Amino acid sequence: MAGSPSTEARGPRVGVLALQGDFREHLAVLTALGAEAVPVRRPDELASVSGLVIPGGESTVMDKLSRTFGMAEPLRAAVDGGLPVYGTCAGLIMLADHVVDGTPGQRTIGGLDVSVRRNAFGGQTDSFETDLDVPVIGGPPVHAVFIRAPVVDRVGALATAVGVLDDGRVVAVEQGSLLGTSFHPEVTADYRFHARFLDKARAFSSR
């Protein structure tokens, strides 16, 4: 299993935003990598972790629920405070500073200096898989699974594109403690993006 640590290596306490989406899959991956992985639904739970994954799902629903449950502002404050956050698919949309085709009133947490386009590859029936070169994580190409995925339309000066399709479209970005992918590593056996996120969380917890 790519990205698996030795049995001696133990990870930090990290959370997965569990308001909506495929949070269970991320919890399983993080646990397999040796982290203490917990669901996060309340501000006090967010305050107890050294990193957070925002899963795939429906970004508009996630936005509304984060406001309903009083999580929107604590999430923004956590990002501003340097908490490592990894967003996949809808999670990438939530981390983007701008959404090109957002619904009326849709908000994001922000933090990533990028603009994204929702469902850029089409609907559920247009889901696809491809191998993607990601030099920053090393090793063989990442097998990337795209499901109603967004795409990064613009990469600002503060962010870096780390994964690009053959046609030039950006599908993975990084900015300091933040990481975002259009695709879903949690549904594959390649956990290198999660491992990279855990490295950020370890550094954060040791500050």
- Whether 143 is catalytic is no
In the predicted model, what is the mean pLDDT of residues 82-97? 97
Answer yes or no: is pLDDT of 7 > 80: no
Check 25, 174, 186, 194 and give the catalytic one: 186
Q: How many helices (H) and strands (E) does the chain have?
A: 6, 12
- Whether 89 is catalytic is yes
- Whether 194 is catalytic is no
pLDDT of residue 11: 67
pLDDT of residue 179: 98
Name the CATH superfamily, with its identifier, for domain 13-205.
Answer: Class I glutamine amidotransferase (GATase) domain (3.40.50.880)
In the predicted model, what is the mean pLDDT of residues 55-71? 95
CB-based burial label for 98 (10 Å; 0-12, 13-18, 19+) = middle
Answer yes or no: is pLDDT of 3 > 90: no
